[in-house]
Amino acid sequence: MYGWAGTILTIDLSKEQIIKEPLDMATAEKFLGPDGIGLKLLWERVPAGTPPLDPANIICFGSGPLTGTFCPNSGKMSSVFKSPTTGLIGVGAAGGFFGPELKEAGYDLLVLMGKAKKPVWIWIDDDTVEIRDAAHMWGKTAWEAIDIIQEEVGDVPTITIGPAGENQMFNAHALIMRSRSIGGTGAGAVMGSKNVKAIGVRGTKGVQVYRPDEFMKKCKEAKDKIINNPVYASFARYGTPGWTPTLITQGVMPTRNFQEGIFPEGEEFLDPETPCKEIFVKSDACESCVIHCGHWCEVRSGPYKGTKTEGVEYYAEYMFGPYMDCADWGFIVKASVECNSLGIGFGSAGMIAWLMELYQRGMISKEDVDGLEPTWGNQEVILELLRKMAYREGVGDILAQGWEKAAEKFGGAEFQPIITRLASTECPRARMDVALSHLTSVRGGDHNKSLPYFAWVCSPEYIRKNWPEWPKETADIYSPIGKPEIVDWTEDWKCVIDSLTCCYWSTSVLQAGGNSPADYAELLTYATGVEYDEEKLMEVGRRIAVLERAFNVREGWGRDVYQMSRMFIDKAFPRGPQAGVKADMKVINKMVDKFLERKGFDAKTGYPRKETLEQLGLDFAIKQLKKQGRIIE
């Protein structure tokens, strides 16, 4: 076996059975990695309409054919399941060390199905796979669970859930290692619904490649391309907090629940040099990474002195920063640690900001919040509410059920930054790339699936040169022209990256000089012995992207799932470079129509066209959709 390990490991938790199946090579060639192979399994094994927290849902974790090899920045993993957060497809990728270790143990994919009768954890030690009792870990934080596991089996990579996952909070995350996560779409809640507290793995078998000499030569080229490109130096020093100048200068720094696009009072806080001085101790990296964009962080003064962790990055910075009107790096570290330990995705922390706006407007009183006063920047209340959400205490129980339930109780739906069923972190009002990518994202409205970052990072010349067939306005993120083309391409490409499983930051689209689809096709060919070129690789991406969208259609979601909150349509930022601009749904919907048609879906209904599925070898999906009447023939 080259590249791929060759085995899918399924654990039937209801029957307490361990099932190992060979990875079918025809499937592997067409679907590449967990996003594809796992998705196909999801389609085949989970009936349409299955409630996501039902034992009949499955959750897959795994890595792709480049993971475990020497390909730089290949140490990732991804996950596929039906999402309890959105009801759409749940997908997510993460770094750390679990993916490579699972591969080195001999498995491409781990599938959890059914539900254990009582709390368990899964121990994978090469060929030995055990379902172990987890009574002594249940109720503990994710970090405490990791300590217990490592005491029992040694320092191994882990996936754990915290109390949030155990309590099936709507978007509880699965924590990878101590600070990486599969978060946005509720992987932790699905694990919790199956009574699985954790997964630990040790692998000694290793990974082979088919044409080693060429592979290693190409790996060196790939490493040089990453290190020699313009973004590398900034990324290596700052990590994703280096992203803030872009948002500041565009006037889209989400502040106080999107009420403002600028945060001038936090100018020093948002300067990427500030965390370098205040909390970063040194660089940190995922497995096989050459960028080391992570940091080991320690708080050296103030109320959170002594708090330390790997990983603090942009999402935490803005969520527990301008979004809640704070500007304290010590608090960012503390909040990150709390979220990771409790097993809560940062996204749901946004609910606290939403409560703060309701409180600001007098729509809720402190009685509604168990006597707490959710005033802007109130760090104590923020930490307390995170805890309440994870343990489903008091008001936490309402918040843990999700945005809709919370709005039913408190009103204020018009202040929830929901785009296509997920709370957004980016503002879609003026930036057409954000509006389109978030609205049409198969996992719900966030930046992870199809936001073409490179429309900003590369010069417009780079886009014109590499895609001469696209309109010249493609490079202008404020123009709707060309956005269907670039978002469509990015969606396919991200599916490839999340199936290889490699790190997005090492690819050319982000870094105008990093590794391109053609580079990865070459690496893949040498690694696996299966011939890939750029066209074939991008077709794999498209196959996965189309199946993901078809899955959503199967689950009942049509054209009308692509909606954004009224707050983006009725309101505008009052200050800054994007002041006064509201989302123009007429223009935006035209982009959505064009994008869907381009993807092979009917713009009116949102259903796939039969020939789209046929052309991509997705015939197996046709029967079900036909039965439901959700396909265009």
Q: Is residue 198 a contact partner of residue 121, using CB atoms and an 8 Å limit?
A: yes
Q: Is 610 exposed, middle or buried (0-12, 13-18, 19+ CB in 10 A)?
A: middle
* Helix or strand holding residue 124 (H, E): strand 120-125
Residue 254 CB, nearest approach to other proteins (Å) = 12
Residue 50 CB, nearest approach to other proteins (Å) = 30
Residue 292 CB, nearest approach to other proteins (Å) = 4
Query: What's phi and psi for 397, nearest 5 deg?
Result: -65, -35
Please, which residue, 21 or 265, has the CB nearer to other proteins?
A: 265
Q: How far does the chain reach from its first CA to its final CA, in angstroms? A: 40
Please, which residue, 208 or 624, has the CB nearer to other proteins?
A: 208
Residue 459 CB, nearest approach to other proteins (Å) = 5
Secondary structure letter of residue 208 according to DSSP: -
Please, which residue, 268 or 633, has the CB nearer to other proteins?
A: 268
Q: Tokens standing for 101?
A: 């270790």
Please, which residue, 356 or 442, has the CB nearer to other proteins?
A: 442
Residue 447 CB, nearest approach to other proteins (Å) = 5
Please, which residue, 101 or 522, has the CB nearer to other proteins?
A: 101
Residue 484 CB, nearest approach to other proteins (Å) = 19
Tallying the residues shown for the chain, one arrives at: 633
**Tally of CB atoms within 10 A around 367:** 9
Please, which residue, 224 or 535, has the CB nearer to other proteins?
A: 224
Residue 110 CB, nearest approach to other proteins (Å) = 19
Q: Tokens standing for 335?
A: 């909040």
At 285, which amino acid appears? Answer: A
Query: What's phi and psi for 548, nearest 5 deg?
Result: -60, -45
Residue 446 CB, nearest approach to other proteins (Å) = 9
Q: Is residue 89 a contact partner of residue 552, using CB atoms and an 8 Å limit?
A: yes
- CB neighbour list of residue 399: distance below 8 Å, 6 or more residues apart: 348, 351, 355, 385, 388, 389, 406
Residue 600 CB, nearest approach to other proteins (Å) = 27
Q: Is residue 395 a contact partner of residue 351, using CB atoms and an 8 Å limit?
A: no
Q: Is residue 331 a contact partner of residue 320, using CB atoms and an 8 Å limit?
A: yes
Distance CA 273, CA 280 (A): 10
Residue 562 CB, nearest approach to other proteins (Å) = 21
**Tally of CB atoms within 10 A around 560:** 8
Residue 470 CB, nearest approach to other proteins (Å) = 14
Please, which residue, 91 or 510, has the CB nearer to other proteins?
A: 510
Please, which residue, 280 or 562, has the CB nearer to other proteins?
A: 280
Q: Is residue 356 a contact partner of residue 382, using CB atoms and an 8 Å limit?
A: no
Q: Is residue 579 a contact partner of residue 430, using CB atoms and an 8 Å limit?
A: no
Q: Tokens standing for 143?
A: 């970090």
Q: Tokens standing for 298?
A: 């320690």
Please, which residue, 75 or 444, has the CB nearer to other proteins?
A: 75
Q: Is 289 exposed, middle or buried (0-12, 13-18, 19+ CB in 10 A)?
A: buried
Please, which residue, 100 or 186, has the CB nearer to other proteins?
A: 100
Please, which residue, 306 or 362, has the CB nearer to other proteins?
A: 306
